[in-house]
């Protein structure tokens, strides 16, 4: 061997490609490629971040006491059972690293979030997928694929990129059907947007045993993706593991301070949710008038389906980009006929609709 080589799993990773943030020509784009909250962050969070920035020579509170207490208060959870991370991405990676390695399997749904296979390969474990039905997580298919080697089962609920969700009853059926040694990770990044009576983010399953984790993030409804702040709610045994494998100062002081302020600003959270409800009711109906279909979504983004030939998703992507609108191509998920479009402001969505109308006519 003439040079250092990474572990074999690492070279199987297709590196994550983030949503684009610029368009040719340098015009200020309408960025609808990363499901960032349409209204932007709470002004109170921005103020807290600026204040904390003056102290950036100090290390953060490694135990993240204030932000864990604030999360606990806001969501009615025990702060002792919360660990924060630099985005939920970090927690996904840490959990896979801690629970799976060579010879182990990590299970997830066909169109599940792309960080699951990336973290799985990085740990040297084997990703296993279960087919979906109608672009929805299929609980029976997941259960059928689970076995002695299945160390982790990820379910994004709602799922990105499809926007679909499974009910609390279905999630419980999944938990009951998985082997007890399989850690079920319910990734509820979009939970705050969901307005469905039969949905829960999964905290009750965490409380019911020692083998379920719920992941949440500040990147979506709180619109703080740039801060990198996510959290896990987990049984004591999993919290203990996460605290062993995480970096001692894995979340910056600025992110912690901004998170506390964001949680306290209920008016901004309510406004963000009300805005999304409105867009979710309106935008797909307008898209339908153009002769295009969308997948039912409960998140802050919508999948628009394009014909396989002619007015394809790739052509629509180019057209929107030429109008300085950035959607997300999802061919890497095996969904080349779709574009995922984040629900932005009403003005932004009107521009998207006008551009799509022109594209369909062109």
Ligand X SMILES: Cc1ncc(COP(=O)(O)O)c(C=O)c1O
Task: Examine residue 137 and tell whether it contacts ligand X (CB under 6 A).
Answer: no
Task: Examine residue 160 and tell whether it contacts ligand X (CB under 6 A).
Answer: yes
Task: Examine residue 117 and tell whether it contacts ligand X (CB under 6 A).
Answer: no
**Binding residues for ligand X, how many (CB under 6 A)?**
13
Number of residues in the chain: 362
Beta strands in the chain (DSSP E): 30-31, 82-85, 105-109, 126-130, 150-156, 183-187, 212-217, 230-233, 293-294, 301-305, 325-326, 328-329, 338-342
For ligand X, the closer CB: 35 or 356: 35
For ligand X, the closer CB: 104 or 187: 187
Q: How far is CA 232 from CA 48, 63, 90, 228, in A?
A: 23, 14, 10, 14
Task: Examine residue 88 and tell whether it contacts ligand X (CB under 6 A).
Answer: yes
| Residue window 188-217: x/- pattern of binding to ligand X, with contact defined by CB under 6 A | -x---------------------------x
For ligand X, the closer CB: 115 or 355: 115
Least CB distance from residue 291 to ligand X, whole Å? 29
For ligand X, the closer CB: 118 or 313: 118
For ligand X, the closer CB: 89 or 104: 89
Question: Can the peptide bond before residue 205 be classed as cis, meaning omega within 30 degrees of 0?
Answer: no
Strand duo 212-217 + 325-326: pairing = unpaired
Task: Examine residue 327 and tell whether it contacts ligand X (CB under 6 A).
Answer: no
Alpha-carbon distance of 328 to 343, in angstroms, equals 12
Task: Examine residue 250 and tell whether it contacts ligand X (CB under 6 A).
Answer: no
> 15-54: which residues touch ligand X (CB under 6 A)?
35
Alpha-carbon distance of 55 to 57, in angstroms, equals 5
Residue 286 falls in which region: left (phi positive, over 0), alpha (psi -120 to 50) or beta = alpha
DSSP 144: H
Task: Examine residue 230 and tell whether it contacts ligand X (CB under 6 A).
Answer: yes
Least CB distance from residue 51 to ligand X, whole Å? 23
Least CB distance from residue 304 to ligand X, whole Å? 18
Cβ neighbours around 18 below 10 Å, total: 10
Q: Which of 60, 225, 284, 327 binds ligand X (CB under 6 A)?
A: 225
First to last CA, the chain: 56
Least CB distance from residue 19 to ligand X, whole Å? 9
Q: Which of 87, 163, 202, 327 binds ligand X (CB under 6 A)?
A: 87
Stretch touching ligand X by CB under 6 A, among 87-95, 120-128, 176-184, 205-213: 87-95
User: What Rg value do the Cα atoms of the chain yield, rounded?
Assistant: 20
Residues of this chain that interact with ligand X (CB under 6 A) are 35, 87-89, 113, 156, 160, 187, 189, 217, 219, 225, 230
């Amino acid at each position: 061997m003439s040079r250092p080589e990474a572990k074999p799993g690492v070279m199987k990773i297709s590196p994550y490609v983030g949503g684009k943030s610029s368009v040719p020509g340098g015009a200020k784009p309408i960025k609808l490629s990363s499901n960032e909250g349409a209204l932007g962050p709470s002004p109170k969070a921005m103020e807290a971040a600026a204040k904390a920035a003056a102290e950036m020579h100090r290390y953060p509170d490694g135990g993240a006491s204030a932000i864990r207490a604030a999360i606990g208060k806001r969501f009615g959870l025990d702060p002792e059972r919360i660990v924060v991370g630099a985005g939920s991405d970090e927690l996904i990676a840490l959990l896979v690293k801690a629970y799976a390695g060579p010879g182990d399997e990590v299970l997830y749904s066909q169109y599940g979030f792309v960080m699951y296979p990336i973290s799985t390969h990085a740990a040297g474990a084997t990703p296993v997928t279960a087919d979906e039905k109608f672009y929805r997580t299929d609980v029976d298919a997941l259960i059928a694929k689970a076995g002695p080697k299945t160390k982790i089962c990820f379910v994004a609920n709602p799922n990105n990129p499809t926007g679909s969700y499974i009910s609390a009853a279905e999630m419980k059926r999944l938990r009951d059907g998985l082997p007890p040694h399989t850690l079920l990770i319910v990734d509820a990044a979009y939970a705050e947007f969901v307005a469905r009576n039969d949905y829960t983010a999964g905290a009750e399953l965490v409380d019911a045993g020692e083998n379920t984790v719920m992941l949440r993030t500040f990147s979506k409804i709180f619109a703080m993706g740039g801060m990198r702040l996510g959290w896990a709610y987990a049984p004591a045994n999993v919290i203990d593991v996460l605290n062993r494998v995480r970096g001692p100062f894995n979340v910056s002081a600025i992110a912690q301070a901004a998170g506390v302020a964001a949680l306290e600003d209920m008016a901004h959270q309510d406004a963000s949710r009300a805005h999304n409800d409105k867009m979710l009711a309106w935008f797909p109906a307008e898209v339908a008038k153009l002769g295009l279909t969308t997948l039912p979504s409960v998140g802050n983004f919508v999948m628009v389906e394009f014909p396989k030939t002619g007015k394809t998703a790739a052509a629509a992507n180019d057209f929107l980009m030429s109008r300085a609108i950035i959607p997300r191509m999802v061919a890497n998920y095996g969904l080349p006929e779709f574009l995922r479009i984040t629900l932005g402001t009403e003005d932004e969505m009107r521009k998207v609709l006008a551009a799509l109308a022109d594209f369909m006519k062109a």
